[in-house]
Structures are given as structure tokens and as C-alpha cells.
């Protein structure tokens, strides 16, 4: 136990450390939003988005999406939400999650995921935002800052109100409101824990975010990074979380490693004749064997 005279010094040091990581954190508006209300709002936003999108019908990709999402949600602190996972056909490299357990991933981000564990890295981060209720906190803050109190509306009442809600939830056309450093760190920390508990190699989290970080240098910044920004410091924070996550992963008897290769599935999908989607895929070369689910796989 610390001597009494040390306690104020430790508190001050902790505060300074907190300020160094998240400079000048604004005061938190009181969260007065009941879970059922944020669930209803998340559901409304999710349906609104999906009605303008084309959803993938690829059975193998959907199977992986639902398996990964289902496993992560099951080990989260909110396993009983009505979790839904959608795969949107889009060249955007994006993913989002909404209060109440609605998660969507675009087909454009799948090559960056590369494998099942990479997809788990994306989805665990999104699921962590839901479980930590970050979207609702942003919404409360947005209403609080505009003088309307921290209570959020029950639904979309007009287009202005809808835009404000969608932007605060990180799914609006306006992408100028990224998650804060604190939210990103919490989602990374919690997300890596979910990865480990679900049996995926946590190292793939660092690899995935490194891959997508490098894409910022290309001609088009991946859309997900507008809302979930990444930089050298966040990558360093992720690496710092690894030793603990690796120890927990080694202790977990459930291990999928990297899981199935998504790159392999995508390459096979491109070879499918578009005129007849039910045609059998081309024979797999004898030297290449797709791993069974749950088998570590290096693409």
C-alpha cells in the first residue's frame, strides 16, 4: 500500500499522464439516455442507411461476417442486444456500428482485412464503440453543447435533426466529427480484449491498422479513417496493449489464429462468371488448400 503522503502525488501524476494522452478532455455531459432509447435510434439510423445500399448476397463472405461478429458480440458485455451484421457492396473502405448492436462492413475494406482475424480487428473495434456507448455519448454531447440538455430525441423528427443524429453517430455525410482520442483508445483496448476472448490472434489488430494507416498515403484516404483516425501514436498505443493481450490469448484454449483467408475467397469470387452466379467455382489448385474454420492461416 502507498504511504498516505504519496497519494496526492500519485493522483497528480495520473492526472498529468491522462492529460498527456488526451489533452484537455472536456467535461462529460451526464448520460441520461436509457438503453432502449439509444437502441431504437440506432435501429432507425441503420435502416435509413441500408435502404440506400446494396447488400452483399455472397454466402461465404456472409458466413464469415456473421461468424466473426457473432463470436465477438457473444463475449462482449452486451451479448443480448439484437446484433445484426451487414455486408455492403461498395468500393469504400469503411465500417460502422450503431447503438443497439448494428454493425456494417463494406466489401471494399475486405482486402485490407485480408483474413478472418483482420475482419475481427475491424468488427471488434466497432463493437467496442457500441458496448462503451460512445455513439450515444457523442449524441448527448452534441445536444448538450447546443443548449438542449443531454437527453436525445426518440427518433428522426426532421431532416436537420436526422443529419445531426447521423453525424454524431459517425454515419452522416458530414465526416468532420471523428471519434476522440479517448474513445479510440477505449475501443482499441476493449476491441483487442474481445478479439482475444473470441480466439483471434490480437497481433492482427496491429497489422490491420498498420496496413490501413499506410493507405493514407495513396490517392484516396480510406473512408473509415475520417471517423476512426489513426496515427503513429495510436499505433504505438496498440502495440503497448499487445503483451497483455498475447498472454491472455496464449491462456485461452480457444484459438482461431488468423482464421480463414478472405483474400482467397475474394480471388475466387472474381473468377465467378457474373452471368451465372450459381456456377460452380473453378477447381482449387491442388497445391492450395483452404484451411478449415478455426485453423491458423497465413496468406
Q: How far apart are CA 215 and CA 221, in angstroms?
A: 6
Pick the closer one to Zn ion by CB: 100 or 191: 191
Based on C-alpha coordinates, what's the Rg of the chain?
Answer: 21
Smallest gap from residue 172 Cβ to Zn ion (A): 15
- Residues 190 to 249 in contact with Zn ion, rule: CB under 5 A: 228
Per CB under 5 A, the segment of 50-58, 104-112, 180-188, 275-283 that binds Zn ion is 180-188
Which residue in the shown chain puts its C-beta closest to Zn ion?
A: 228
Complex with Zn ion: residue 13 or 231, whichever CB lies closer: 231
* CA dihedral over 283, 287, 290, 292, signed as positive or negative: positive
47 closest CA partner among 137, 143, 171, 140: 171
> Please, which residue, 83 or 179, has the CB nearer to Zn ion?
179
- Going from the C-alpha of 244 to that of each of 104, 189, 193, 201, the distances in angstroms are 29, 11, 9, 12
Q: How many residues bind Zn ion (CB under 5 A)?
A: 4
Q: Which whole-number Å values give the CA distances from 140 to 133, 231, 272, in the listed order?
A: 11, 27, 47
Integer Cα distance of 285 and 220 in angstroms: 35
- Minimum CB separation of residue 260 from Zn ion in Å reads 25
Q: Do residues 93 and 212 lie in contact, with contact meaning Cβ atoms separated by under 8 Å?
A: yes
Among 179, 209, 249, 297, contact with Zn ion (rule: CB under 5 A): 179
In the complex, the smallest distance separating the C-beta of residue 138 from Zn ion, rounded to whole angstroms, is: 11
Which CB sits closer to Zn ion, 228 or 256?
228
Q: Who contacts 181 (Cβ-Cβ below 8 Å, separation ≥6)?
A: 21, 22, 234
Q: Which stretch binds Zn ion (CB under 5 A): 2-10, 149-157, 173-181, 252-260?
A: 173-181
State the nearest-atom distance from the C-beta of 99 to Zn ion, in Å. 14
From the list 93, 188, 66, 208, the residue with the least C-alpha distance to 134 is: 188
**Contact range with Zn ion by CB under 5 A, out of 46-54, 55-63, 184-192, 206-214:** 184-192
Residue of the chain from 65, 81, 104, 187 that contacts Zn ion (CB under 5 A): 187
Q: Which residues are CB-neighbours of 219 under 8 A, at least 6 positions away?
A: none
| Dist. CA 181–CA 25, nearest whole Å | 10
Nearer to Zn ion, 183 or 260 (CB): 183
Is 59 in a helix, a strand, or coil? Answer: helix
Min. distance of Cβ 181 from Zn ion in angstroms?
A: 10
Q: 138 or 144, CB closer to Zn ion? A: 138
Return the number of the residue (102 or 228) whose C-beta is nearest Zn ion.
228
Region near Zn ion per CB under 5 A, out of 70-78, 171-179, 192-200, 260-268: 171-179
Q: Which residues bind Zn ion (CB under 5 A)?
A: 179, 184, 187, 228
Amino acid at each position: 500500500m502507498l504511504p498516505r503522503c504519496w497519494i496526492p502525488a500519485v493522483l497528480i501524476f495520473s492526472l498529468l499522464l491522462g492529460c498527456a494522452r488526451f489533452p484537455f478532455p472536456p467535461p462529460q455531459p451526464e448520460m441520461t439516455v436509457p438503453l432502449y432509447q439509444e437502441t431504437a435510434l440506432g435501429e432507425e439510423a441503420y435502416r435509413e442507411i441500408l435502404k440506400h445500399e446494396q447488400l452483399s448476397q455472397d454466402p461465404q463472405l456472409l458466413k464469415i461476417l456473421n461468424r466473426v461478429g457473432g463470436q465477438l458480440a457473444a463475449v462482449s458485455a452486451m451479448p443480448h442486444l439484437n446484433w445484426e451484421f451487414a455486408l455492403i457492396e461498395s468500393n469504400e473502405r469503411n465500417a460502422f456500428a450503431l447503438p443497439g448492436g448494428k454493425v456494417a462492413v463494406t466489401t471494399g475494406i475486405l482486402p485490407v482485412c485480408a483474413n478472418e482475424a483482420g475482419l475481427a480487428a475491424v468488427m471488434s473495434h466497432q463493437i467496442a464503440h457500441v458496448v462503451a456507448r460512445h455513439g450515444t455519448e457523442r449524441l448527448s454531447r452534441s445536444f448538450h453543447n447546443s443548449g438542449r440538455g443531454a437527453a436525445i430525441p426518440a427518433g428522426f423528427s426532421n431532416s436537420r435533426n436526422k443529419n445531426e443524429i447521423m453525424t454524431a453517430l459517425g454515419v452522416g455525410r458530414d465526416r468532420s466529427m471523428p471519434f476522440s482520442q479517448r474513445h479510440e483508445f477505449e475501443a482499441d483496448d476493449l476491441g483487442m480484449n474481445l478479439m482475444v476472448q473470441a480466439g483471434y490472434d490480437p497481433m492482427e489488430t496491429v497489422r490491420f491498422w498498420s496496413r490501413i494507416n499506410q493507405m493514407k498515403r495513396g490517392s484516396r484516404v480510406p473512408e473509415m479513417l475520417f471517423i476512426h483516425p489513426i496515427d503513429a501514436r495510436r499505433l504505438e498505443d496498440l502495440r503497448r496493449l499487445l503483451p497483455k493481450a498475447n498472454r491472455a490469448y496464449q491462456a485461452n484454449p480457444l484459438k482461431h489464429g488468423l482464421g480463414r483467408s478472405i483474400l482467397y475467397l475474394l480471388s475466387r469470387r472474381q473468377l465467378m462468371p457474373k452471368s451465372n452466379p450459381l456456377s460452380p467455382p473453378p477447381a482449387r489448385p491442388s497445391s492450395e488448400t483452404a484451411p478449415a474454420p478455426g485453423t491458423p492461416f497465413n496468406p
